[in-house]
Amino acid sequence: MRTRYNARITALGGYVPEHILTNHELEEMVDTNSEWIVSRTGIKERRIVNDAQVATSDLAVKAVARLLDDAKLGPDAIECVIVATSTPDYIMVSTASVVCEKAGLVNAWGVDSNAACSGFLYALTLGASLIESGRYKNVIVIGADKNSAIINYEDRNTCILFGDGAGAVLLEQTTEEEGLIDNVFKTDGCGKEHLIVQAGGSLNPSSIETINNKLNFISQNGRVVFKAAIEGMTQTCKEVFKRNDISSEDIDWLIPHQANLRIIQSVGDNLNIPIEKVKINIDRYGNTTAATIPLCLWDFKNDFKAGDKLLLTAFGAGFSWGASYLIWGKLRGDA
């Protein structure tokens, strides 16, 4: 009989740039104020790359280095790298291939996944499928974005929200009832106009006109996204509960996408999960898009113990959204 494998997280790494962009600094750039930003979003500061030569791959490589150190593994042990990002180094040449080269992952193949803020969860289930197949033993899944490259710092509706960063997890095989247990994902392209970078792709290639009209930057209809995010994340989490015969009382930790503190609080309230069980770091990092969930896992890994039930949920451009349920196992560095 063929062995049935689950994919569990055994090591983590994260990285945010050293440069801090505070709300008070943004007050000097656009018509806003720190009190309003905190009350509406929960963000006090965000990390921003201040070197034009640093790309998304560089953020990811630093997260991978910390992961490998945490795992006590050499780079040649990694067989596959999946990078979730909306800000690839290049339109052609995957960021994953650049990461493999820069990180010395000589035995790995790599591929990118773009589902915006939902990207890490989508990439996580793709990586888990490779582990579950039995064909791969060590897969790294990364969420990384240099959002500062696509932010218009004259647009107060978006520049206050986003930061740069990367988080990575190592997936390995287990025959225990732990690791990634289930996912519920949804996609609806009808929402694309409400959160989008309009230029730079094949439909609307970059040109003098798109640059002058600032179409290469993120644009967002905040009210529509706010409502859809709460509804979508709540819905898919409840569907995970139903499919796995569990309830909010069974969940030890909710790890939500860090887009807006009011969204996070609303989803927690809708699920009857107390705020003490919700992991939040948006106040320090802002919205790092695909990096928010792996950065949360990395930030708070010492709070998780084997057997804890984690609920991960995200909403992003596309629209794309979903929830993942996993049971935490021992990390490689655990005694």
Q: Report the relative pairing of strands 139-146 and 109-113 from DSSP bridges.
A: unpaired
The question of whether 107 is a catalytic residue gets the answer: no
Among candidates 324, 319, 118, which has minimal Cα distance to 225? Answer: 319
The question of whether 237 is a catalytic residue gets the answer: no
Active-site hit among 100, 117, 159, 296: 117
Residue 154 · residue 213 · CB < 8 Å? no
Among candidates 199, 167, 187, which has minimal Cα distance to 85? Answer: 167
Count other Cβ atoms within 10 Å, centred on residue 255: 24
The question of whether 221 is a catalytic residue gets the answer: no
Q: Could you give the CA distance from residue 238 to residue 240 in angstroms, rounded to a whole number?
A: 5
Among candidates 286, 332, 314, which has minimal Cα distance to 12? Answer: 332
Q: Could you give the CA distance from residue 207 to residue 328 in angstroms, rounded to a whole number?
A: 47
Active-site hit among 147, 257, 260, 296: 257
Q: Could you give the CA distance from residue 81 to residue 84 in angstroms, rounded to a whole number?
A: 10
Sorted by sequence, the CB contacts under 8 Å of residue 177 that are 6+ apart come out as 6, 327
Active-site hit among 159, 237, 287, 296: 287
Q: Which of the residues are catalytic? A: 117, 257, 287
